[in-house]
Amino acid sequence: MSEWRLLLRQLENPIVLLLLGATELSMALGDRLDGTIILLIPVASGMLGYFQERRAGRVVEDLMAAVRVPLDVYRDGTEVEGRRRRGGARRRVGAAPAM
């Protein structure tokens, strides 16, 4: 996921949208101090959420790179070592011989 998309996802929270609306209303009514204080809450929340999600995404990528999933692969009736590729892509293998 791109950095911008991750940042914009922080705005999908209904409470954040409500606070942004309250900020706009407060500013429109001329109460700039309250509007600024209200604005700081979703900004701080969005920044915290962004950095936490970014760090969690990197940890997941590192874990996926470190995990090796063994599986049984048969080629021409002989078992060979195989593993699942990163990202869930799988190798195409033929049917195992009838036993």
Q: Over the stretch 32-71, which tens digit does the pLDDT of each residue have?
A: 999 999 999 999 999 999 999 999 989 988 888 887 666 6
- What is the per-residue pLDDT for 11? 85
- What is the per-residue pLDDT for 65? 80
Global pTM reads 0.58
- What is the per-residue pLDDT for 32? 94
How buried is 99 (Cβ within 10 angstroms: 0-12 exposed, 13-18 middle, 19+ buried)? Answer: exposed
Per cent of the chain over pLDDT 70 is 74
What's the Cα-to-Cα distance from 28 to each of 7, 17, 39, 45, 84, rounded to whole Å?
26, 16, 13, 23, 57
The string of DSSP letters for 23-79 reads HHHHHHTT-HHHHHHHHHHHHHHHHHHHHHHHHHHHHHHHHHHH---EEEEEETTEE
- What is the per-residue pLDDT for 91? 54
Query: Token pair of 58, please?
Result: 């990197």
Mean pLDDT throughout 8-30?
A: 92
> What is residue 21's DSSP assignment?
H
- What is the per-residue pLDDT for 78? 74
